[in-house]
A = this chain, B = another copy of it.
Amino acid sequence: MAAEPSAHALIAAHRPTLDQALEAIRTRAYCSPHPEHPKAYGENGSLDAAAGKAAFDALLGTRLDLGQPGTDDWTGAEESPYGIALGVTYPHADPDVLLPAMRAGQPAWRDAGPELRAMVCLEILKRISDRTHEFAHAVMHTSGQAFMMAFQAGGPHAQDRGLEAVAYAYAEQVRTPAAAEWTKPQGKRDPLALTKTFTPVPRGVALVIGCNTFPTWNGFPGLFASLATGNAVLVKPHPRAVLPLALTVRIAREALADAGFDPNLVALAAERPGEGIAKTLATRPEIRIVDYTGSTAFGDWLEANARQAQVYTEKAGVNTVVVESTDDYRGMLGNLAFSLSLYSGQMCTTPQNLLIPRDGIRTDAGPRTFDEVVADLARAVDGLLGDDARANGLLGALVNPEVKARLEAAAGLGEVALASREIVNPDFPGAVVRTPLIVKLDGTKPDDEAAWTSECFGPVSFAVAVDSAAHAVELLRRTVRERGAMTVGAYTTDQDVERSVEEVCLEESAQLSLNLTGGVYVNQTAAFSDFHGSGGNPAANAALTDTAFVANRFRTVEVRRPA
């Protein structure tokens, strides 16, 4: 068939990368095939910084025609958190035309088998990687991330997460052999003998519902897991963060077509302002898989209503750090200050509640009272963000007016230990840039409870005074069990406290970072090694990435016949 030469070339080009990823998910050692440094790009067909910026600029104000069937209109109204109107319009789809067209290519995609599908996915990732600089600007101007973070998290780290999903999907599909001979002895009679084939088959069309803050990082795992397992994938981006996923869809369609497959296996569903098409699409009978990142309310709605589909959700959680004692006080303060500041705390993994004994903590710099710890942390944040250029580079911009309103309201929730400051971004005067707010609360006061038991998404954290380490552990357990958590952190030099925190995390299914004082932060996870979420507490029903994330996206059909 026509795809043959292309298949060989793809395998030659990408099989080593797949093997590297398969080895990494087995050992969970460090692995990042996509380079993190901006200067690593510019050769072998990849865009350098200038070319990437030019490519992004050229997109502004244009119509991104993806050549999709069933396009009945053009829509798009993205406003960058940095104050630029992107002016890009995208195809608006008639699902009655688009969805059947997406299904048409599925049999050939299924027949391609797990390896060739993985290779095409890796070719898509390669082409995305080549345009990392362009993606960085697209992610920056939709999420509000600062450039360097948009580059890394929206580029190589997102691509790593996509590759990780492909590796899990491939491994799972080839776990059952494609064929088997089965011979059952029958004593003196001839044995019974059957020839069996086992074929991974897709569930149907998968829907990826993108989020505003991490369109690629949170979108790629579901997209690639579904595509690699044979499903067509419809991408419904957040209306404020269309461009990075529209570029992704364009590249995927081109790579599919070049490999001899139907480009309609991947398509975009952009929506008109206020249209709310996610509900309509997620409950269509053709949609058999949904990946979603966003609010708990809509995640719960999807789980309850998209009953014809496998639904994978990442929702809100309340992340806690227990601060009990440390042998590196300075390192702890610096590490926490960075975690609270990065992307203005607009990460699902940013710590919110810092549980600190009201009698203070033991440190290598001597004992510190609750008030001292909070004041020292406030100073650490101030120090980190004292230079406006550095602050802009860390904080990025508030992603939307709701975050700004929440931040402003949070100052009234208790005693302000660190006020949020406004910072001017000289390059983008329209950007809303704010430093983190730290509010003191009391873990025994009923009046304070509503604040620290709810997610306050944005640059807001609560220093919560607790009675003891045991009290901290109890509040941690309650928070994870009732509110969920993407991350838990703890600082302690006490073996018993460490064990108690670990036991809570094991019993309530939360991912724990202990005593981070260096250049790894509780809110960052590394593909191939760290799980993002656990799928076992209310913050998310799936983890990135484990077998459960891929194994139910396809089914295995057996055909048996006499040998």
A512 interface neighbour in B176, B510, B560, Cβ under 8 Å: B560
A560 to B555, CA, bound (A): 34
Check: A20 CB closer than 8 A to any chain B CB.
no
In the bound complex, do residue A505 and residue B547 qualify as a contact, i.e. CB atoms below 8 Å apart? no
Supposing A510-B557, A512-B557 touch, asked if A182 and B28 sit within 8 A by C-beta, the answer is: yes
Check: A513 CB closer than 8 A to any chain B CB.
yes
A511 to B28, CA, bound (A): 36
Shortest Cβ distance from residue A64 to the other chain B in the assembled complex, whole angstroms: 32
What's the number of copies of this chain in the assembled complex? 2
CB neighbors of B among A155-177 (8 A): 172, 175-177
Task: Mark interface residues in A240-259 (1 if CB within 8 Å of B CB, else 0).
Answer: 00000000000000000000
In the bound complex, do residue B180 and residue A27 qualify as a contact, i.e. CB atoms below 8 Å apart? yes
For A304, the closest partner residue in chain B by CB is: B307
In the bound complex, do residue A560 and residue B184 qualify as a contact, i.e. CB atoms below 8 Å apart? no
In the bound complex, do residue A516 and residue B552 qualify as a contact, i.e. CB atoms below 8 Å apart? no
Residues of B within 8 A of A530 (CB): 196, 558, 560
Task: Mark interface residues in A191-220 (1 if CB within 8 Å of B CB, else 0).
Answer: 010101011010100000000000000000
Shortest Cβ distance from residue A534 to the other chain B in the assembled complex, whole angstroms: 5
Residues of B within 8 A of A65 (CB): none
Residues of B within 8 A of A26 (CB): 175, 177
Residues of B within 8 A of A520 (CB): 192, 194, 560, 562
Task: Mark interface residues in A271-288 (1 if CB within 8 Å of B CB, else 0).
Answer: 000000000000000000
CB neighbors of B among A494-529 (8 A): 502-503, 505-507, 509-520, 526, 529
In the bound complex, do residue B199 and residue A529 qualify as a contact, i.e. CB atoms below 8 Å apart? no
Provide the main secondary structure of the chain A interface: mixed
In the bound complex, do residue A551 and residue B555 qualify as a contact, i.e. CB atoms below 8 Å apart? no
In the bound complex, do residue B181 and residue A29 qualify as a contact, i.e. CB atoms below 8 Å apart? yes
In the bound complex, do residue B562 and residue A556 qualify as a contact, i.e. CB atoms below 8 Å apart? no
In the bound complex, do residue A28 and residue B514 qualify as a contact, i.e. CB atoms below 8 Å apart? no
A561 to B530, CA, bound (A): 12
Supposing A307-B304, A509-B557 touch, asked if A526 and B27 sit within 8 A by C-beta, the answer is: no
CB neighbors of B among A139-167 (8 A): none
A535 to B506, CA, bound (A): 30
In the bound complex, do residue A201 and residue B514 qualify as a contact, i.e. CB atoms below 8 Å apart? no
Residues of B within 8 A of A535 (CB): 552, 555
In the bound complex, do residue B557 and residue A546 qualify as a contact, i.e. CB atoms below 8 Å apart? no
In the bound complex, do residue B177 and residue A536 qualify as a contact, i.e. CB atoms below 8 Å apart? no
Counting chain B CB atoms within 10 Å of each CB, the highest count among A176, A546, A559 belongs to: A559
Of all A-B residue pairs in the complex, the 9 with the closest CB atoms, nearest first, are: A536-B555, A548-B551, A28-B180, A514-B561, A548-B552, A547-B551, A512-B559, A509-B555, A534-B555
Return 8 A-B CB contacts under 8 Å, by A number.
A26-B177, A30-B184, A172-B547, A182-B526, A511-B557, A520-B560, A535-B555, A546-B551
